[in-house]
Amino acid sequence: MVFGMIVVGGATRLTHSGLSITEWQPIVGTLPPITEADWAVVFDKYKLTPEYQKVNAGMTLDAFKGIFWWEYAHRLLGRTIGMVFLIPLIAFAWLKRIDRSLALRLCGIFVLGGLQGAMGWYMVKSGLVDNPRVSQFRLTAHLSLAFAIFAAMQWTALSLLHTNPDSQRSSNCLRNFSRIIFFIICFMVITGGFVAGIRAGFAYNSFPLMNGYIVPPEILSIDPWWMNFFYNMATVQFDHRLGAWALAALVPWFWLRSRAELLSKRARISCNLLIGMLIVQIGLGIATLLMVVPVPLAAAHQGGAVLLFALSLMTVHALRR
């Protein structure tokens, strides 16, 4: 469900639907508009936003419904995840089917989920004032927190499924190598958030060069220099590409190193799946760029990022002491 939430969130952003609901009502907002009068009220509120006034002026009610349902589905799925997580947690705790440490960990994950909802609204608010786009900083924080929640859930699940580490024969070098790859993938998630936030994917739609350059000359054109990493399309996209090139070099090297060691079956499968998913994800990224960010491909690229992230974390877990 969290995987689906991240993919739907990406589709919501790609279809420019995220600003269609101008209020955050965690309880009342569960019910969508039903009557034509309800739709008129919601649409009138949207007409007051800078997105309608500067981008979608003259939009029809039917067109508005198209973007409304994407954002509504995104928010409803978030509420559903909260209930699916909380109700069994209360039941298992009441029946003493989980110990105190696990209960506290699960409560912590639930709190992160609540903070994610608040972060989502904080992000949306940034696009309801003057600029018809949300802040790239808030969008990246929202995306990063989603991956953090996914990681906390996955690590907890893997620890419950595999109570005893089964790859103690792996070397410290390979174990640390897997962690480096995981952190580079985290870097890719963050830079991907900024690429999405400033729409850098719509520029430099060529590969492997960026409009004929390995390093575009305008990469440090903004003063002061540090702002280029957050506002300059050339720099933001170059950073994302740099992470991809690093993974393209390091993951095959890691895979070859893993072949030379005596690993458990689970660790071996994780290493094989990791390199396979990297090939798929790089292919999706290049296709998304060359075709100028079509929604299906871009959503698939975001889903592929989650799968690559999950396989990297699974590899780290399988190689732990």
Query: What integer pLDDT is reported at residue 165 of this predicted model?
Result: 60
Q: Is the pTM of this model over 0.85?
A: yes
Q: Would you list the domain boundaries of the chain?
A: 1-134, 162-321
- Asked if pLDDT for residue 25 goes beyond 90, the answer is no
Whether 9 has a pLDDT exceeding 90, the answer reads yes
pLDDT at 28: 65
pLDDT above 60 (res 167) = no
Mean pLDDT, the chain, as a whole number?
Answer: 94
Predicted confidence band at 17 (pLDDT cuts at 50, 70, 90)? very high
pLDDT of residue 321: 75
pLDDT band per the 50, 70, 90 thresholds, residue 118: very high
Q: What DSSP designation does 227 have?
A: G
Name residue 174's amino acid.
L
The amino acid at residue 9 is G
Q: Report percent pLDDT > 90 for the chain.
A: 89
pLDDT score of 256: 96
Is the pLDDT score of 209 beyond 60?
yes
Residue 239 clears pLDDT 90, i.e. is over it: yes
pLDDT for the residue 166: 58
Q: How far apart are CA 58 and CA 52, in angstroms?
A: 8
Candidates 280, 275, 240, 239; CA nearest to 254 is 275
- How far, CA to CA in Å, does 143 sit from each of 54, 120, 301? 26, 9, 14
Helix (H) or strand (E) holding 112: helix 100-125
Instruction: Report, as an integer, the average pLDDT of 158-173.
Output: 77
| pLDDT surpasses 60 at 168 | no
